[in-house]
Structure 1
C-alpha cells in the first residue's frame, strides 16, 4: 500500500510540472482513426457529452505506469478509491458502490427495483437509455412531460407516483436539456417522494455547476440513491468508472446483484480515478473552459436565431425550428458528429461543448 502511494505521489509531482498555461494542448480529440492513417480524417465528436480535455495529466501518467500491474486484481485500489470517494461525499466507505461507469449503477438500480415489480417514474425528455430493458424486467415506465422551460415538473412527478411506484428518477442537471432543479425544491421533493418509493438522483453533470450534491442526505434517507460518474468532468468516459451513494443497507442489497461488487473496474481505471480526484487544478480549468466555450456557443446560436435553453452542463439544448438548412447534413458535410432530434415539437437537439476551436468549426458549419 505504501509503495503504491509513493508511486502515485511521484506521478503527481511529475505531471504537475507540465503546467496549465496552454490548456487546450491537453485536448484529446483523437479516435481510432489516428491509429489507422489510411482512414479518412477523424470527425469532430460533439455527440456524447465527453470531456475534450481529459484525462488529466496526472491521470494519463498514472494510467500508463499502472499497465505493468494489470496482471493483478485491483481489490486494494478499489478500497483506496472508495475511501477517497466517501471522503469527497461526506459519507462512509460502506455507503459507496463502484461501477463500470454510472451506466452499470443505473442498470443495477433498475434491476433492484424491478425485483418488486410495479412501475417507475421519470421525465420526458431525460436520459433514458438505461430504461430500455424495463419491459423485459417486468417494470412499467411512467413519463411526466417537462415544463415549458424544459425543467423537471417535480409537482407533476409527485402526482404520478401511485401505490405500485417503486422508483422515481431525476437527472440533475438534466440530459439533454441542461436544466437544473432548484435545490430547496428538489430536497423537498426527495423528502416527500421517498416516503413512497426510491428516489434515484443522477448527478453525472453536477460537477459542471457550483451546486451541492444531495449525497450527504443518504445518511438520513434510506430511500435515496445518488449516482455519479468520472466520465464527464474527469474525462474518463472510456475508462468506465461510476459509483452509487446510498445507505449501507441499500448498498448491500444492490451489491447482492453482482458476483464481485467493486471489481468491475480495471486497475488502470481505478488508478485514473484516484489520481483524477487529486488533480483539482485541472478540474478547475475544465470547468472554466467549459463555461467560456459554452457562452460563446450560445451567443453564436442565438445570433443564428436559434432558441437555446440555459445550460448547467457541458452541452447545449437548442431548437431547429427557425433553421432553414438541413442541420444534420451540414454537420455531415463538415465531418462533425452531433446527436438527434429529441423532441419533434420544436425540433430540439443537443450539442456537446468541445474545445473553442471545435465549437468555432461547428458554428461555421451550420452558418
Structure 2
C-alpha cells in the first residue's frame, strides 16, 4: 500500500511539474494514423464513441513512467489495480477480472456460455460486433426488437428465454441508441432471467450518466456478469483495458478458460488505468463537457428537423428520414468519419460527441 501511495505521489508531483494547460487543450481528437490517402489532413473522428479529451493528465504521466518497466510483467501492479477497481465498484478483489478491453471479457463469456450448445438473446439494434464468434461456436442468435422509444424491451426479452438460452446480453446504456433501462425494472428482469441463464450487462457508458452501477448485485448472483471499460470515459480506448465484475465463483470459472488471467493487460495500460481512477477532477470535466456539447448538438440537429433520441451516453442516435442531402457524402466531403445506417426503417444513424469545435464543424458540414 505504501508503494502505491508513493507511486501516486510521484505521479501527482510530475503533473504539477509539467504545468498542464486548461482542460480543453488535452483534446487529441485526431491521429496521424488516420489520414486519407489523397490528403495530408487527418479526419475528425466521430465514429467509435472515443473520448476526445483523454487520457487524463495523471494517466499520461503514469503511462510514460511505466514504459521503462515494460521489460517486466506487471505482477505487482495488477493486484493494485484490481483492488482499486473493486473499491470503486463496492465489491471484493475476488469479484474482478481484467481484460484487454471489455471485448476480451465478452469473448471469454461467449466461450464460457458455449460450453453447452444453445442460444443467446439480445436486442435487434445494439452493440453486436462480438456475435459472429458466438454463432461459430454453435450458439443460435435470437434478437428482440427495441421498444418504440429505442430501449431494450425487457419483458419481451424475458419471454424469449427458453430452455436452450445460455446468455442474455444487455447493453446499458445501449449502443447505438444511447437509451438506458429503468434501474428497478432492470433489477427485476435480472432477478428472473438469471434463474435460467447468464445475464451479461455491458456498462461501457454508465459513467456518462448519474446512474449507479449494478456491480453490487453480482456478489450473490453467480449468473450475473457486468463488464466495464476504461475505453470511453477514461479515454484509454487504444490502451485496451476492461474488466468483468461477477461472483467470485464465476470469476474462478472464467479464469479457467484463460492460460494467464489478467496477464493480457500491459503494464503501461494498467498504470494508466490506476492513475485514471485517482483523477476525479478530469472525469468531472469530461462529463460536464460531454453534457454541454451533447445539448448543443441535439439542439442543432433538431433545428435541421432531424429526430434525436435522448442520449445517456457520449453519442447521439438520430433519424435521417427528413434529411434531403446525402448525409454520408456530406461527412466525406468535410473530412469527417461517421458510422452507418443502423435501422433502415427511419434511417437511424449515430454520431459520436466530440469537442465543441468538432461538433460545430459537423453541424456546418451537414447544413
Asked if these proteins are the same fold (TM beyond 0.5), I'd say: yes
C-alpha spacing 1:35/1:140, structure 2 compared with 1 (3 Å) = closer
Matched, 1:24 2:20: no
Per-residue deviation, residues 247-295 of structure 1 (Å, max 9, x unmatched): 1110011111111101101010000000000000000000000000000
Q: Secondary structure at the match of 2:87?
A: helix
- In structure 1, the partner of 2:131 is 131
Q: Which residue of 2 aligns with 1:259?
A: 259
Q: In the alignment, is residue 159 of structure 1 matched against residue 140 of structure 2?
A: no
Query: Is residue 2:310 matched to residue 1:310?
Result: yes
Structure 1 length-normalised TM: 0.97
SS of aligned partner of 1:51: coil
SS at 2:130's partner residue? Answer: helix
Q: Please state how far the C-alpha of 1:227 moved relative to its aligned partner.
A: 0.3
SS at match of 1:278: coil
C-alpha distance in 2, partners of 1:65/1:59?
A: 10
Instruction: Point out 4+ residue stretches in structure 1 off by more than 6 angstroms.
Output: 17-21, 34-38
Partner residue in 2 for 1:293: 293
Conserved in 1, the CA contact under 8 Å of 2:36 and 2:42? no
| 1:269-280 alignment, distance < 5 Å | 269-280=269-280
Secondary structure of 1:98's aligned partner: strand
Is residue 205 of structure 1 aligned with residue 210 of structure 2? no
Secondary structure at the aligned position of 1:346 is classed as coil
**SS state at 1:61 partner:** helix
| Inter-partner Cα distance in structure 2 for 1:278 and 1:38 | 42
1:141 aligns with: 141
* Structure 1: distance between partners of 2:161 and 2:18: 52
* Partner of residue 43, structure 2: 43
- Structure 1, unaligned stretches of length 5 or more? none
Contact between 2:171 and 2:202, CA under 8 Å: does it hold in 1?
yes
Tell me how far 1:330 sits from its aligned partner: 0.3
CA RMSD of aligned residues (A): 1.8
Partners of 1:306 and 1:106 in 2: CA distance? 34
Taking the aligned partners of 1:175 and 1:16, their CA distance within structure 2 comes to 37
8 A Cα contact 1:33 1:41, kept in partner = no
What is the alpha-carbon distance in structure 1 between the residues aligned to residue 249 and residue 16 of structure 2?
Answer: 40
Q: Kindly indicate whether residue 218 of structure 2 is the aligned counterpart of residue 241 of structure 1.
A: no
Alpha-carbon distance in 1 for matches of 2:79, 2:38: 43
Deviation of 1:38 after TM superposition, in Å, equals 10
